[in-house]
A and B are shown apart, each in its own frame.
Chain A
């Protein structure tokens, strides 16, 4: 699967309260949550996103709470992929579980706001078309590839047969 979009840049330790403020957690609506994405730190963000754009951040993206509303709101505002230097663990599993693509590279600092990125999720190769640079990402462990290939944990669970371990 290929994703092409413009980069939106965020810093280190973007936490789940930044991504979606707690007051909105009574909603389960992807579009509504998307409209409030990043409100506390960049209230215009959802309006700048074109469907298919890519969120690029530094270390420890998604730290803080377990709220799955965070990756849902990112999906809901049109972001197709998150690239970060590292992800907080619950955000990482939530993204995999709901089928929001994520990739880790060691240095996101050379990607700039508005850069056009093209990403091949199968090979894990990211090309910055505006700067002519290329990044290779670590492949996901096989177990996670299975969940990703199914599109998330619910389809993975649904596809499991009785007796599977």
Chain B
């Protein structure tokens, strides 16, 4: 009996090289951010631990409530900085050095195909998009991994999704994953790995694959994964440069033909319209045209889901030379500093500003209702982010719709949820 790609990576990282129900695996990299890592640091110090397993394998990425929205947020960053100095951790990044963790860590080369990564942030599942086994965990898991270099995991089952057909012009990874979550529900992949395959995925850009894996958690998934291919390696050579640690074994990072799956689901994307998730669950998915009477007060384009350069290019292609509806507040959240710089070089930032948008520093910002675009009672946002739970972006009586960048940009121009083909 063969193994799936995630099973292979887990076996490789377990001491026995076998998969029991529970495995205590060694971790190649563990990290937290300015809201989850302070709990880990506090627990670590309260427990009286006085050494970390390997300082090079620990990262603190400050991205949530920063640039510090208030003194408390600033204090949390200082707490991480002091810990990093005390234990000589080389990978402490304040907001001006990084951007959003799940965009930044890929660029920085701190995650690689075939590696096992845990992060105290649920969207750690993103890195499956480059063929890593990456799992969102809690702060105490991070604490234990800092101390031991290890993490307990339940060996997961996998659901294989096979995407076939010809996607339409405006369809991206976000539409594919929203459609999938709409089909299986917010617990449709509970505890399971979502492996994305098929001809549509082979032709899909790596940044769109990262978007898909990013939202595996929204279906309850343990992680998402796309077995890496030449497209992955070319992408990593481009964005990681010399930090990309290519090895010939990476080409073998795929599931065996006789691997066992809990389920196999085929999805034909031909004729699929752009997808939008309505309040208050990511599974509440409708085709964009069914929502063309929904008025929006705020549009957010960016985040760890859709804040990469390809996302900003799509948004800019719709907004360029046009003006947003004046009563709509449009916030662009570039995923990282290097995305921001690249967008500047390509003239995308100018297109956004000329169209009337605000360009925010890279930060998680309003995605989780932290700062920089909080909604009041009754306000409606369309966002390229990942969650639309009650109160996610502000007041419990506000509303969040989720879409890809093309729909978000088109809707910024009309003030209503709009199919980009109506604009272009």
Contacts of B136 in A (CB 8 A): 66, 90
Q: Is A154 touching B143 in the complex (CB atoms < 8 A)?
A: yes
Q: How far is the CA of A67 from the CA of B121 in the complex (A)?
A: 7
Q: Is B187 touching A88 in the complex (CB atoms < 8 A)?
A: yes
Chain B CB within 8 A of A158 CB: yes
Chain A CB within 8 A of B326 CB: no
Binds B, one of A19-27, A73-81, A116-124, A127-135: A19-27
Chain A CB within 8 A of B137 CB: yes
Q: How far is the CA of A96 from the CA of B72 in the complex (A)?
A: 28
Contacts of A154 in B (CB 8 A): 43, 47, 140, 143-144
Chain A CB within 8 A of B190 CB: yes
Q: Is B387 touching A17 in the complex (CB atoms < 8 A)?
A: yes
Chain A CB within 8 A of B198 CB: no
Query: Assuming the A-B contacts A66-B121, A86-B190, are A22 and B39 also in contact, with contact meaning beta carbons closer than 8 angstroms in the complex?
Result: no
Q: How far is the CA of A27 from the CA of B190 in the complex (A)?
A: 29
Chain A CB within 8 A of B235 CB: no
Q: How far is the CA of A144 from the CA of B76 in the complex (A)?
A: 31
Give the residue of B76, B137, B368, B389 whose beta carbon is less than 8 angstroms from that of A93: B137
Q: Is B220 touching A89 in the complex (CB atoms < 8 A)?
A: yes
Q: How far is the CA of A144 from the CA of B147 in the complex (A)?
A: 19
Chain A CB within 8 A of B64 CB: yes
Q: List which B10-24 residues lie within 8 A (CB) of chain A.
A: 15-16, 21-22, 24
Contacts of A39 in B (CB 8 A): 396
Nearest-neighbor residue (CB-CB) of A69 within chain B: B39
Chain A interface: which size bin? Answer: 35 or more
Contacts of A93 in B (CB 8 A): 137-138, 141, 152
A68-101 interface mask toward B, CB cutoff 8 Å, 1 = contact, 0 = none?
1100100000000000001011100110011000
Chain A CB within 8 A of B391 CB: yes
Contacts of B148 in A (CB 8 A): 157, 160
Q: How far is the CA of A63 from the CA of B120 in the complex (A)?
A: 15
Is chain B's binding surface mostly helix, strand, loop or mixed?
Answer: loop
Q: How far is the CA of A60 from the CA of B141 in the complex (A)?
A: 21
Chain A CB within 8 A of B108 CB: no
Give chain A nearest CB distance to B213 CB in angstroms. Answer: 16
Chain A CB within 8 A of B57 CB: no
Give chain B nearest CB distance to A81 CB in angstroms. Answer: 19
Query: Assuming the A-B contacts A23-B370, A68-B36, A90-B138, are A60 and B387 also in contact, with contact meaning beta carbons closer than 8 angstroms in the complex?
Result: no
Chain B CB within 8 A of A40 CB: yes
Q: Is A40 touching B122 in the complex (CB atoms < 8 A)?
A: no
Nearest-neighbor residue (CB-CB) of B122 within chain A: A66
Q: How far is the CA of A121 from the CA of B281 in the complex (A)?
A: 33
Q: Is A17 touching B16 in the complex (CB atoms < 8 A)?
A: no
Query: Assuming the A-B contacts A89-B190, A90-B122, A165-B24, are A25 and B35 also in contact, with contact meaning beta carbons closer than 8 angstroms in the complex?
Result: yes
Q: How far is the CA of A56 from the CA of B15 in the complex (A)?
A: 38
Contacts of B42 in A (CB 8 A): 28
Give chain A nearest CB distance to B17 CB in angstroms. Answer: 12
Contacts of B73 in A (CB 8 A): 26
Q: How far is the CA of A165 from the CA of B25 in the complex (A)?
A: 9
Q: Is A64 touching B140 in the complex (CB atoms < 8 A)?
A: no
Contacts of B390 in A (CB 8 A): 17-18, 40-41
Q: Is A21 touching B39 in the complex (CB atoms < 8 A)?
A: no
Q: List which B266-284 residues lie within 8 A (CB) of chain A.
A: 281
Give chain A nearest CB distance to B18 CB in angstroms. Answer: 11
Name 8 A/B residue pairs within 8 A (Cβ), A-sorted.
A18-B389, A18-B390, A21-B369, A22-B369, A68-B36, A88-B187, A143-B152, A154-B140
Known: A26-B35, A66-B36, A98-B138. 14 other contacts (CB 8 A): A13-B186, A13-B281, A15-B387, A17-B387, A64-B389, A66-B120, A66-B121, A66-B124, A66-B136, A68-B140, A89-B220, A143-B21, A157-B144, A157-B147
